[in-house]
Structure 1
Amino acid sequence: MRSATAFAAKATSFAGSRNAGKLVLKLAAVAALVSLSGCAWFSGKKDPNPPAPLVEFAQKLRVKTAWNVSVGKAGNFNFTPAYAAGSVFAAGADGSLVRINAQTGQTVWRVRNEIPLTAGVGTDGSTVVVVGEKGMIQAYDGAGKPTWKAQASSEVLSAPAVGEGLVVVRSIDNRVTAYDADSGARRWMVQRNVPSLTLRNAPGIVIGSQTAFVALPGGRLSALALNNGGPRWEVPVGDPRGTTELERISDVSGVPALGSRDICAVAYQGRIGCFDLLNGNVRWIKDFSSDVGVTLDDSNVYAADIGGVVTEFARDTGAVVWRNERLKNRQLSSPIATSRAVAVGDFEGYIHFLSREDGTFVARVSSDGSPIQAPPVNAGETVVFQTRSGSVVAIATE
């Protein structure tokens, strides 16, 4: 179970300065409710949902750390590494931004922003974008030279999406804004309704097929035309229900997983499903709750639920292929399929490799001991994780 303090830190409300007191009360209420539901350290009671102990197993897959680069701590934010043009790009809260050769681990360049960062990295290999305090957007070229700045309407917590000549950003006031990737000029802006209480888990954006697919608070997945921001379709992934605002939080989590014909997404206290790329028609959908997102490969969809159960679904039908329940309450990252296994990080910095066939453990490796919460990325022959302490770690399988 996530702690009351951590959960409160992940919840936020946007309603303007006149409601600042209401925000504080809401966050206090979230912490109190979560505490009453089981995390009762202050009373000295034993946690009824302790992290599952690590089980021993015969290691069937050889894994090794290919390289490890320090980029800077994440602080209270969630920094996602990005892979493009043969490089891994990563950032830290102190303003650090680094480009790493994905094959060798050599630092190609490193820059320091003038202000602390809150989100990043978004890149297509040519344009590299991070976001700083108060919504300041900073773009660089592929050589690390600053190219333009822009000001978002409010704080930005999710990595910008870069592609097809645009940089698309969602700020916490639920405005989705597109900027020209070369000049930073604003191309369009779409304002969405803001739920009264949301997770602070930065729902993401992915670009493809001349469309920006935007994960939104309130459990919506929206497809916006890249040329003007016009809506192509919108579907409910989450289904807010319950009598309290806390019970009704149902935000889409992580970055939607984009395929050639479909797109898959998951919501906290909501559902997981895959949808037709062109019209949003439901291919399949199931009850599920996750705050870390979903990934896919050619045949399957992978997700870790809020309790730490990792599940593989058949991509075409949504049928459960396997579940691994041996990582309960270990506060997992989103899982990712590699060439030979499914990898997932946890709150102690361990990276677990599960069999693609039945979900059993086949390997395990440790990083720096700090939580892994950012979604991992495949980078050529390795899978890359970024820890909360700022280690960018590439793991190779043999």
Structure 2
Amino acid sequence: MRRESQVESQVVSMRAGSLAVKLSALAAVALLSGCSLFSSKKEVNPPAALVEFKQTLRTKTVWTTSVGKAGNFQFSPVFAADSIFAAGADGTVVRVNAATGQAIWRISAGSLTAGVGSDGNTVAVVGEKGVVQAFDASGKSLWKASAPTEVLSAPAVGYGLVVVRSIDNRITAFDAENGTRRWSILRPLPTLTLRTAPGIVLDSQSAYVALPGGRLSALALNNGGPRWEVAVGDPRGTTELERIADVSGVPALGVRDVCAVAYQGRIGCFDVSNGNVRWGKEFSSDSGVTLDDRYVYSADDKGGVTEFVRDTGASMWHNTKLSYRRLSAPIAVGKAVAVGDYQGYIHFLSRDDGSFVARTSTDGSPIQVTPIAAGQNVVFQTQAGTLVALAAE
């Protein structure tokens, strides 16, 4: 219990900071998550008003369905085995047909703090006090296991493993069939971190783990041994708040490269085999990064959306007309790039020049998590628990 208390303190405040510093840290976290600790008549950086434009792209809502609200946590959908798997804080876990949105099954797993992860065969979520739960493809319970402390990031599932990162910065791999702990490794934890959900992505050789302190670590999948570790963002500044440089969102994995972005750090792509930097640029994002065959996409912490050339990092365009609208990570869909905002709007930008080509609304609640591609569609999950699949024609 004493260890968990110390870890919680690290996440929201400095180990020995003054009350003023603690409040500043909480305010910074609240600002990043779209909340406010204190009422104010005027925001320092008010969200940009929506601009009018001529819609030139036809978009279609393919289907919508509801899963539980996210509450104070972040829940990301997953596409696997022609299905969308999603979860909510109330314990709802669903599997829906990716093409139609029709529910294949819906179960309750108790109060949850993170999810969902799936490879189509195993479905994993995490409950209170770090309890990891796994289900089979039909929604039948397989096993339960315990992470050392609370888990905020969705589990990564694949290659016979369920991999989680708890807030004490320990990465643990469980056997996907029976929940046996296969390996566990503890990484250093910075003095001050954001209470966010940096993610994990797997390939057949490695688990690529986004970490607080601006680090991206590649761990051997068979035993957790470190293969390489790189700095996406180096902590800088004179105060602990200025030195926060946590990696944001889920690393974007390609065949030969993995790309990541850090808050108050950099955006860049790295060689999967050795971590060598292919390119890197000064950038600050609290939402994450996505990629396609040619480009890398990210929204900065001021609401600017940028398209980078994947091979070189050259900036193709930068849209600043969504400033301070607390954007999700953007994602390519057809001829456009789609990004969600704090009011539940989904904006479609031209992949050629970043201009607005379409806009649609959802349920009015924030879209914070990274959207996912599912065949020809893109799927967003809102904080209120709406799953929406969209297509751009």
Does TM, normalized by the shorter one, top 0.5? yes
Corresponding residue SS for 1:140: strand
Alignment of 1:300-319 (within 5 A): 300-319=295-314
What is the letter of the counterpart of residue 130 of structure 1? V
Deviation readout 1:24-83 (Å, 9 max, x if unpaired): 7654232467899xx999685522311111111111111121111110110000000000
CA distance in 2: counterparts of 1:372 and 1:48, whole angstroms: 22
What is the letter of the counterpart of residue 385 of structure 1? F
Partner of 1:231: 226
The answer to whether the aligner puts 1:57 opposite 2:53 as a matched pair is yes
The answer to whether the aligner puts 1:96 opposite 2:96 as a matched pair is no
Q: CA deviation at 1:397?
A: 1.7
Number of positions where the alignment pairs a residue of Structure 1 with one of Structure 2: 383
Q: 1:48 to 1:227 in 2, by over 3 A?
A: same
Corresponding residue SS for 2:227: strand
CA distance in 2: counterparts of 1:40 and 1:195, whole angstroms: 25
The answer to whether the aligner puts 1:296 opposite 2:272 as a matched pair is no
CA distance in 2: counterparts of 1:238 and 1:382, whole angstroms: 32
Partner of 2:4: none
- Tell me, yes or no, if the aligned pair for 1:13 and 1:197 is still in contact at 8 Å: no
What is the letter of the counterpart of residue 56 of structure 1? E
Partner of 1:130: 125
Partner of 2:65: 69
The answer to whether the aligner puts 1:265 opposite 2:234 as a matched pair is no
Alignment of 1:32-181 (within 5 A): 44-113=40-109, 115-181=110-176
- Tell me, yes or no, if the aligned pair for 1:13 and 1:195 is still in contact at 8 Å: no
What is the letter of the counterpart of residue 334 of structure 2? S
Q: CA deviation at 1:21?
A: 8.6
CA distance in 2: counterparts of 1:182 and 1:216, whole angstroms: 27
Corresponding residue SS for 2:129: helix
Deviates most, 144-153 or 61-70:
61-70
TM-score scaled by structure 1?
Answer: 0.92
Corresponding residue SS for 2:106: strand
CA distance in 2: counterparts of 1:306 and 1:27, whole angstroms: 21
Corresponding residue SS for 1:202: coil
Could you tell me which of 339, 344, 349 is aligned with 2:344?
349
Deviation readout 1:161-201 (Å, 9 max, x if unpaired): 01111111000000000011111100000001111111111
CA distance in 2: counterparts of 1:117 and 1:284, whole angstroms: 37
Deviation readout 1:194-231 (Å, 9 max, x if unpaired): 11111111110000131000000000000000010011
Corresponding residue SS for 1:218: helix
Corresponding residue SS for 1:30: helix
- Tell me, yes or no, if the aligned pair for 2:156 and 2:163 is still in contact at 8 Å: yes
Deviation readout 1:255-298 (Å, 9 max, x if unpaired): 00000110100000000000011000001001000011000000
Alignment of 1:184-223 (within 5 A): 184-223=179-218
CA distance in 2: counterparts of 1:44 and 1:14, whole angstroms: 27
- Tell me, yes or no, if the aligned pair for 1:13 and 1:196 is still in contact at 8 Å: no
Corresponding residue SS for 2:25: helix
CA distance in 2: counterparts of 1:248 and 1:79, whole angstroms: 27
Partner of 2:279: 284
Which 5+ residue runs of structure 2 have no aligned equivalent?
1-6
CA distance in 1: counterparts of 2:303 and 2:108, whole angstroms: 35
CA distance in 2: counterparts of 1:198 and 1:239, whole angstroms: 13
Deviates most, 246-255 or 56-65:
56-65
Which 5+ residue runs of structure 1 have no aligned equivalent?
1-11
What is the letter of the counterpart of residue 98 of structure 1? V
Q: 1:40 to 1:72 in 2, by over 3 A?
A: closer
- Tell me, yes or no, if the aligned pair for 2:343 and 2:365 is still in contact at 8 Å: yes
CA distance in 1: counterparts of 2:364 and 2:268, whole angstroms: 33
Alignment of 1:332-343 (within 5 A): 332-343=327-338
CA distance in 1: counterparts of 2:260 and 2:28, whole angstroms: 27
CA distance in 1: counterparts of 2:30 and 2:333, whole angstroms: 37
CA distance in 1: counterparts of 2:73 and 2:148, whole angstroms: 18
Deviation readout 1:109-143 (Å, 9 max, x if unpaired): 00001x31000000000000000001000000000
Could you tell me which of 361, 380, 386 is aligned with 2:356?
361
Q: 1:359 to 1:316 in 2, by over 3 A?
A: same
CA distance in 2: counterparts of 1:301 and 1:23, whole angstroms: 40
Query: What do you get for the CA RMSD once the two structures are aligned?
Result: 2.2
Q: 1:229 to 1:25 in 2, by over 3 A?
A: farther
CA distance in 2: counterparts of 1:27 and 1:51, whole angstroms: 26
